[in-house]
Copies of this chain bind each other. A is one copy, B any other.
Amino acid sequence: MVKASDLLSLVADNMIYVEDKMRSGISEKHKDLQSVVDYLVGAGGKRLRPALTMMAASFYPVDKDKLYCLAGAVELLHTATLVHDDLIDNSLFRRGMPTLNVSWSPAATILTGDFLFARSAQLAAQTDSVRIVNIFSETLMTIVGGELNQLFNDGHKRVPSIEEYHQRIYAKTASLFAAGTEMGGILSQAPEDQIGALRDFGYYLGMAFQVVDDILDFKGDEDHIGKPVANDLRQGIATLPVMLFNEDHPNHPTILKAVGKEYVSDEEILDVVNKIRASGYVEATMEEAVRFARQAQAALEKLPNTPYRQAMHGLADYTITRDI
């Protein structure tokens, strides 16, 4: 199977400089804050977003230091949203390590997230590009706006439309992928049509990535991805497999209760999960992910054919084959 690490190897050597940027910029007075940021950066992750940002900037000569700032800004923004999300969801683990909110007060967790937002904006500004700073702040608005929208819509207690699903996964995942690749293109002064192609690539890759994440929620067991099966549905969030099932079997009582935020038993969840799995809705969802991945690959054709482009093509394949 394709390994992400192979595909990311082209930019792996630079990741250490990106992580240096992520850890930097904290006054020597703030030793406690420094150790928290070191902990969060050390907790890792696949670093897909900064890797994509760097790959997207590979087609034309680029100021390396600014690129590390930009890639670090993208990953820190992602980290900041996770810090607040984990607090909001009361999550206990992230990437196999205890979350900040487990050992810390809500106050310290909120403020650490705020600090990371501020530092990520500052790193983005170090590119000296107002266009990049604009995309950066708009992306943060999109991500947070999507989460707020979901909170407000919780009151509506219905299965969302496919269009709403697309908007949600764009806000949650594809917006930052797309921003990273677009900003990488801008920083390397790629021609405008190629900047557009890079944004499209990031967008479709991010959409594919999130659809597959939603599939994994139906496939995984606790050992595998660290949470119970159909965790989203348990929380009242209908993802694509549920939505496709719902089109053919409207008003299933378990799904209505779940999106209505009523109590649903483990048995009821497993029963509807088995129905969804048995009737091909997971496979139908995968077809959607494959379509997105192919659109990502099609966007690449506007770019010079380099080893980086080939790795990006491979990443789209990896996205739809990972861990399944």
Contact B121 A84 (CB under 8 A): no
Asked if A151 meets B25 with Cβ closer than 8 Å, knowing A114-B140, A133-B125, A140-B118, the reply is no
Contact A112 B33 (CB under 8 A): no
CB distance from A176 to the nearest CB of B (A): 12
- Chain B residues with CB under 8 Å of A141's CB are 25, 115, 118-119, 122
| A window 118-149: CB within 8 A of B | 118-119, 121-122, 125-126, 128-130, 133-134, 136-138, 140-141, 144-145, 147-149
Q: Which of A102-110, A177-185, A248-256, A299-307 is the interface stretch?
A: A102-110
**A236–B68 alpha-carbon span in the complex (Å):** 42
What 1/0 mask marks residues of chain A from 20 to 42 whose CB sits below 8 Å from any chain B CB?
Answer: 00000111011011000000000
In this assembly, does A97 line the interface, its C-beta being within 8 Å of a C-beta of chain B? no
Contact A121 B137 (CB under 8 A): yes
Contact A117 B115 (CB under 8 A): no
Q: Chain A binding site: helix, strand, loop or mixed by DSSP? A: helix
What 1/0 mask marks residues of chain A from 145 to 157 whose CB sits below 8 Å from any chain B CB?
Answer: 1011101100000
In this assembly, does A111 line the interface, its C-beta being within 8 Å of a C-beta of chain B? yes
- Chain B residues with CB under 8 Å of A167's CB are 29
Contact A137 B110 (CB under 8 A): no
Instruction: Tell me how many chains of this kind the complex includes.
Output: 2
The one of B88, B111, B126 that contacts A107, using a Cβ cutoff of 8 Å:
B88
**A152–B27 alpha-carbon span in the complex (Å):** 14
The one of B87, B111, B128, B140 that contacts A144, using a Cβ cutoff of 8 Å:
B111
**A84–B140 alpha-carbon span in the complex (Å):** 17
The one of B27, B134, B138, B152 that contacts A32, using a Cβ cutoff of 8 Å:
B152
**A87–B106 alpha-carbon span in the complex (Å):** 10
The one of B27, B29, B147 that contacts A111, using a Cβ cutoff of 8 Å:
B147
The one of B32, B84, B136, B149 that contacts A30, using a Cβ cutoff of 8 Å:
B149
The one of B110, B149, B152 that contacts A84, using a Cβ cutoff of 8 Å:
B110
**A25–B32 alpha-carbon span in the complex (Å):** 36
The one of B32, B121, B151, B152 that contacts A121, using a Cβ cutoff of 8 Å:
B121
Contact B144 A108 (CB under 8 A): no
| A window 62-116: CB within 8 A of B | 81, 84, 87-88, 105-108, 110-115
Residue in A87, A117, A167 whose Cβ sees the most chain B Cβ within 10 Å? A117
- Chain B residues with CB under 8 Å of A32's CB are 148, 152
**A87–B149 alpha-carbon span in the complex (Å):** 20
The one of B25, B111, B121, B152 that contacts A133, using a Cβ cutoff of 8 Å:
B121
CB distance from A159 to the nearest CB of B (A): 18
Contact A84 B134 (CB under 8 A): no
**A141–B33 alpha-carbon span in the complex (Å):** 12
Contact B106 A145 (CB under 8 A): no
**A138–B151 alpha-carbon span in the complex (Å):** 31
Contact A33 B148 (CB under 8 A): yes
Contact B148 A108 (CB under 8 A): yes
The one of B29, B87, B111, B149 that contacts A151, using a Cβ cutoff of 8 Å:
B111
- Chain B residues with CB under 8 Å of A27's CB are 145
